């Protein structure tokens, strides 16, 4: 079968990839569509160190082909969106509703794929850039069949991360003020999360003025090309500032824009050893800096919720997809993503 494999040197679309049958508690999914997220490119450029060879891709949707022993929540033919969270479901963190904190869900990459007799790693417990992949049952979330799989594909990373950060982590409330720095795939989802939460003023900041129309479509009430103008709109600062770029100077700006009791939520990914600084006394007024893994999501709850909000027209998915490519055109999709020409490119199988 076809798949997108990174061997440590180059990315190739191969057609000699195989995947093993699902074991107990696993699901084999035929992928229909998968979004190209910046994290896939971060594996290729080394920002995210990962063992190779590896099948890329980590936000996808498709059709269940077969299930292993003990799997009863999905059946062959069901449409599913995949999460990257292979949490165990039995540890204290899982049990308290924090599957993103499950220690079983971090690290430990499996190798369900092979080329010839050589095993190939799975990226983010997912590897959606393959015609078929095997995931843990907990990662396969059933969605209604009337949702296009190319749209549902985006829920598993960008939507869970961006909307989840607003609803689950920051818990933005009706009437709150929100600033979103960076309006790429994650930033747009933060914007629509803030709209869903009932934020009254939602200020998008992006150096690229061409992003304004999309930002407003997703919920921004104001758009600025620099954070400098935020104080004119919000003289006492913002209740929530989301940094979605991953640059330390923008993290500092996010903290400096906080109102009393405000919180800065860090969603961008600078290199692993990056350090940021802030004025300690600026934290005294009950301010906070929050990390956030994967939108603090509970995928079996959140994915069906977002699917239903999409059906009601309250959550945008189709508008996130700015281009679709057959998987063979991965290189073009990658070039478009790297040049910032697309909010989200989707590969189809």
Q: Contact residues for Zn ion (CB under 5 A)?
A: 37, 39, 87-88, 91, 94, 102, 157
Closest approach of Zn ion to the CB of residue 180, in Å: 17
Closest approach of Zn ion to the CB of residue 255, in Å: 25
Closest approach of Zn ion to the CB of residue 158, in Å: 6
Please choose, from the candidates 249, 248, 256, 254, the residue with its C-alpha nearest in 3D space to the C-alpha of residue 281.
256
Considering beta carbons, is residue 3 or 57 the nearer one to Zn ion? Answer: 57
Considering beta carbons, is residue 88 or 196 the nearer one to Zn ion? Answer: 88
Closest approach of Zn ion to the CB of residue 38, in Å: 7
Considering beta carbons, is residue 125 or 238 the nearer one to Zn ion? Answer: 125
Closest approach of Zn ion to the CB of residue 103, in Å: 7
Closest approach of Zn ion to the CB of residue 298, in Å: 12
Element at 333 (helix H, strand E): helix 330-338
Closest approach of Zn ion to the CB of residue 98, in Å: 9
Considering beta carbons, is residue 99 or 219 the nearer one to Zn ion? Answer: 99
Residue for token pair 């509970």: 298
Closest approach of Zn ion to the CB of residue 176, in Å: 26
Closest approach of Zn ion to the CB of residue 113, in Å: 19
Considering beta carbons, is residue 43 or 149 the nearer one to Zn ion? Answer: 43
Rg (CA), the chain: 20
Considering beta carbons, is residue 207 or 269 the nearer one to Zn ion? Answer: 269
**Contact by Cβ (8 Å): 54, 43:** yes
Please choose, from the candidates 213, 36, 44, the residue with its C-alpha nearest in 3D space to the C-alpha of residue 128.
36
Considering beta carbons, is residue 262 or 345 the nearer one to Zn ion? Answer: 345
**Distance between CA atoms of 135 and 81, rounded to whole angstroms?**
11
State the sign of the Cα–Cα–Cα–Cα dihedral 243, 244, 247, 250.
Answer: negative
Within 222-276, residue ranges assigned H as helices are 230-233, 248-256
Considering beta carbons, is residue 102 or 254 the nearer one to Zn ion? Answer: 102
Please choose, from the candidates 22, 108, 102, 29, the residue with its C-alpha nearest in 3D space to the C-alpha of residue 61.
29
Considering beta carbons, is residue 190 or 258 the nearer one to Zn ion? Answer: 190
């Amino acid at each position: 079968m076809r798949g997108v494999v990174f061997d440590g040197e180059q990315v190739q679309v191969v057609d000699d990839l195989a995947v093993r049958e699902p074991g107990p508690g696993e699901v084999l999914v035929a992928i229909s569509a998968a979004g190209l997220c910046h994290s896939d490119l971060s594996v290729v450029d080394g920002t995210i160190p990962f063992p190779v060879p590896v099948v890329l891709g980590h936000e996808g949707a498709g059709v269940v082909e077969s299930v292993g022993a003990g799997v009863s929540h999905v059946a062959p033919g069901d449409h599913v969106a995949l999460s990257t969270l292979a949490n165990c479901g039995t540890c204290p963190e899982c049990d308290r509703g924090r599957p993103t904190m499950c220690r079983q869900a971090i690290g430990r990459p499996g190798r369900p794929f092979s080329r010839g007799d050589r095993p190939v790693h799975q990226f983010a417990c997912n590897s959606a850039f393959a015609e078929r992949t095997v995931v843990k049952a907990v990662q396969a979330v059933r969605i209604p069949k009337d949702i296009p799989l190319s749209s549902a594909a985006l829920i598993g990373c960008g939507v869970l991360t961006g909307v989840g950060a607003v609803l689950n982590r920051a818990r933005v409330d009706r009437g709150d003020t929100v600033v979103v720095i960076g309006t790429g795939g994650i930033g747009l989802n933060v914007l629509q999360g803030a709209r869903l939460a009932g934020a009254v003023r939602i200020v998008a900041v992006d150096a690229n003025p061409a992003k304004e129309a999309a930002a407003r479509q997703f919920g921004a009430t104001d758009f600025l090309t620099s954070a400098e103008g935020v104080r004119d709109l919000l003289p006492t600062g913002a209740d929530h500032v989301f940094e979605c770029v991953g640059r330390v100077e923008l993290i500092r700006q996010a903290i400096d824009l906080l109102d009393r009791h405000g919180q800065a939520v860090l969603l961008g990914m600078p290199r692993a050893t990056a350090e940021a600084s802030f004025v300690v006394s600026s934290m005294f007024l009950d301010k906070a800096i929050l990390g956030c893994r994967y939108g603090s999501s509970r995928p079996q709850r959140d994915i069906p919720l977002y699917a239903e909000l999409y059906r009601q027209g309250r959550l945008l998915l189709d508008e996130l997809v700015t281009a679709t490519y057959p998987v063979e055109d991965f290189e073009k999709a990658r070039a478009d993503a790297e040049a910032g020409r697309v909010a989200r490119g989707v590969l189809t199988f």
